[in-house]
Amino acid sequence: MKQLQKKRNRTRLLLVAIALLAAVSGIFFIRSGQGGEDKEVYQNIPSDDDFDKIENGIHLRTGLIAADGLTEVVNNCTTCHSAQLVTQNRMSRERWVATIRWMQKTQNLWDLGANEEIIINYLVTNYPPLKKGRRAALTDIEWYALEP
Amino acid sequence: MKRRNFVKSTLLGSMTAALGTDIVFGTLMPDGYTPLALLQNTDPFQLFDKDPQMVVLNNKPWNIEAQAHLLDDNVTPNTRMFIRNNGIIPERIDASKWTLTIDGESAKEPKTYTLVDLKTRFPQYTYQLTLECGGNGRSEFDPPAKGNQWTVGAVSCANWTGVRLRDVLEDVGFNKDAVYIGYHATDIHLSRDPDKEPISRGVPMAKALQDETLLAFRMNEKDIPMAHGYPLRLVAGGWPASASGKWVNRVSIRNKVHDGAKMTGTAYRVPCESVAPGEKIKEEDFCIIESMPVKSLITYPKSGATFPLGKKLQIRGHAWAGELEVKKMEYSIDFGATWKKCAVERPANRLAWQHFTATIDFPKKGYYEVWARATDSENTGQPMVLPGWNPKGYLNNACHRIAVKVT
pLDDT tens per residue, range B218-245 = 999 999 999 999 999 999 999 999 999 9
Helix A70-77 and helix A2-34: axis angle, to 10°?
60
Among chain A residues, CA nearest to B39: A18
Residue B41 has pLDDT above 80, yes or no: no
- B37 Cβ under 8 Å from any chain A Cβ: no
Degrees to nearest 5, angle at CA A103 with B63 and B199 = 50
Q: Please name the CATH architecture into which domain B95-288 falls.
A: Alpha-Beta Complex (3.90)
Q: What is the mean pLDDT of residues B300-306?
A: 98
Going along chain A from its start, the domains and CATH numbers come out as 1-49 (no CATH), 52-129 (1.10.760)
Q: What is the mean pLDDT of residues B177-203?
A: 97
How far apart are the CA of A88 and the nearest CA of chain B, in angstroms? 6
Q: Output the pLDDT for position B319.
A: 98
Report pLDDT digits (tens) over A83-140: 999 999 999 999 999 999 999 999 999 999 999 999 999 999 999 998 889 999 999 9
What CA–CA distance (Å, rounded) separates B356 from B345? 6
Helix/strand/coil (H, E, C) string of chain B?
A: CCHHHHHHHHHHHHHHHHHCCCCCCHHHCCCCCCCHHHCCCCCHHHHCCCCCCCEEEEECCEEEECCHHHHCCCCCCHHHCCEECCCECCCCCCHHHCEEEEECCCECCCEEEEHHHHHHHCCEEEEEEEEECCCCCHHHCCCCCCCCCCCCCCEEEEEEEEEEHHHHHHHHCECCCCCEEEEEECCECCCCCCCCCCCCCEEEHHHHCCCCCEEEEEECCEECCHHHCCCCEEECCCCEHHHCCCCEEEEEEECCCCCCCCCCCCCCEEECCCCCCCCCCCHHHEEECCCCCCEEEEEECCCCEEECCCCCEEEEEEEEECCECEEEEEEECCCCCCCEECEECCCCCCCCCEEEEEEECCCCCEEEEEEEEEEECCCCECCCCCCCCCCCCCCCCCCEEEEEEEC
Residues on chain A bordering chain B, Cβ-to-Cβ distance under 8 angstroms: 18, 21-22, 24-25, 28-29, 32-33, 80-82, 84-85, 88-92, 95, 99, 106-108, 129-136, 138, 141-146, 148
Average pLDDT (B54-59) is 96
pLDDT recorded at residue A48: 55
Q: Which of A88, A106, A109, A127 to mutate to test the interface with B (most CBs of B within 10 A)?
A: A88
Helices (H), chain A: 2-34, 70-77, 84-87, 93-106, 115-126
Please compute the mean of the pLDDT values over residues A45-53 and round it to a whole number. 69
Q: Write out the residue limits of the CATH 2.60.40.650 domain(s) in chain B.
A: 295-406
> Quick check: B57 contacting A, CB < 8 Å?
yes
At A144 the three-state DSSP class reads strand
**Complex prediction ipTM:** 0.85
Contact B403/A82, CB-based, under 8 Å? no
Q: Answer whether the bond into residue B231 is a cis peptide, omega within 30°.
A: yes
pLDDT at A148: 75
Whole-prediction pTM value? 0.84
Indicate the pLDDT class of residue A32, thresholds 50, 70 and 90: very low
Task: Reply yes or no on whether the pLDDT at B95 is more than 80.
Answer: yes
The sign of the CA dihedral B123, B124, B128, B130 is positive
Q: Name the residue facing A144 among B146, B306, B311 (closest C-beta).
A: B306
- Give the one of A106, A136, A141 whose C-beta lies nearest to B303's C-beta: A141
User: How many CB contacts within 8 angstroms connect chain A with chain B?
Assistant: 101
| Local confidence band at A34 (pLDDT 50, 70, 90 cut-offs) | very low
The pLDDT of residue A66 is above 80 = yes
Decide if B142 and A133 are in contact by the 8 Å CB cutoff.
yes
Res B42: pLDDT: 75
pLDDT of residue B148: 97
What's residue A31's pLDDT? 39
The pLDDT tens digits for B386-402 are 999 999 999 999 999 99
Residue of chain A whose alpha carbon sits nearest to that of B150: A88
- A89:B405 CB<8 A: no
Q: Provide CATH code, domain B295-406.
A: 2.60.40.650
Residue A28 is predicted with a pLDDT of 40
Mean of pLDDT over chain B = 92
